[in-house]
Amino acid sequence: MLSSLVDTTLDFVRTHQEWAIPIVFMLAFCESIALISLLIPATIILWGVGALIGASGLEFWPLWLAAACGAILGDWLSYWLGYYYHEPIARSWPLNRNPDLVPRAYRLFERYGVLAVFFGRFFGPLRAIVPLVAGATMMPQVPFQLANVSSALTWAALVLAPGALGAELLEGVLY
């Protein structure tokens, strides 16, 4: 099922390139929002979209900006949810099925603060949990947003560029 979703999405983007920007935005948004990121294989699809950039003539910069904006808004929403609803969210599915996930995120956040927000984006399930915890611990908005924006810009480049550069290098070798 996972590979089918990835293949279907990538085939759609390849065929309907005009939808690439909104799709990349939504994938990055879903990958960054608490709880939803655990259900959608967005990073894998974004790596594939990166490969399409080089192979299908899609432009890197608009897709990078779409991915960064989606990630920024997803983290902001996760922060907001944590800030206003931290107790009920911690007891809800799927967090209640992984009881050590939220305490691990709390420990990470308590130890590293704003750096946890920045680096948390690059570590799997913590990607969307850390902003939720940042909100739940009432981290001030400005430091959170600085870490959120800077990490999203970096993350977007890291998920799209390898495929784009790899496809360009492969094309250069083959032709």
User: Per-residue pLDDT tens for 92-115?
Assistant: 766 677 777 667 777 777 788 889
Q: Which residues of 137-146 are buried (b: 16+ CB within 10 A; e: fewer)?
A: eebeeeebee
* pTM score above 0.85: no
Higher pLDDT, 55 or 166: 55
At 91 the three-state DSSP class reads: coil
User: Whole domain around residue 165: which residue ranges?
Assistant: 2-174
Amino acid identity at 50: G
Higher pLDDT, 14 or 82: 82
Number of folded domains in the chain? 1
User: Per-residue pLDDT tens for 27-79?
Assistant: 899 888 876 766 676 777 777 777 777 667 778 888 899 999 999 999 999 99
Higher pLDDT, 40 or 123: 123
